[in-house]
Structure 1
Amino acid sequence: MNERYVSIKVDRQERPDIDEIYQQVSQMMGQGGGWPLTVFLTPQGEPFFGGTYFPRTIAMAAPRSRAC
């Protein structure tokens, strides 16, 4: 995305264990589950935002880094 972010794409069929973890995280955040799933993590690996679909108006209001 830029020099301060690392994008990682995980194939849910190859790594169902990872998919299960982040589907649960998304549901606990109140976003529901499904695909495609996007989860933002801190450098320590802690999820802080996620969901399955972000319309442009909601995506614009999503948490932003000061680096953006």
Structure 2
Amino acid sequence: MSLIVNGQPANVASRDLATLLTELSYDGDWLATAVNGVVIRRDDRVAYALRPGDRVEILSPMQGG
């Protein structure tokens, strides 16, 4: 499926947000996710079905200042 992930085109096999995070090697409890500008809570990621063309934003904390 074709998505836009963090502003970049991506072709992925995942059909839900939780699986997408695993496919793209994002892990940890400190991630923030949004699809098409709507924040998706961690508990809702498994049930959140992705659709072709969705714009997914994945934010993770960075070290440094």
The question of a shared fold, defined as TM-score above 0.5 by the shorter chain, is answered with no
Pairwise TM-score range, normalised by the shorter structure:
under 0.3
TM-score (norm 2): 0.26
Higher RCO structure, 1 or 2 (CA under 8 Å, sep 6+): 2
Larger radius of gyration between Structure 1 and Structure 2: 1
* Structure with greater strand percent: 2
TM-score (norm 1): 0.25
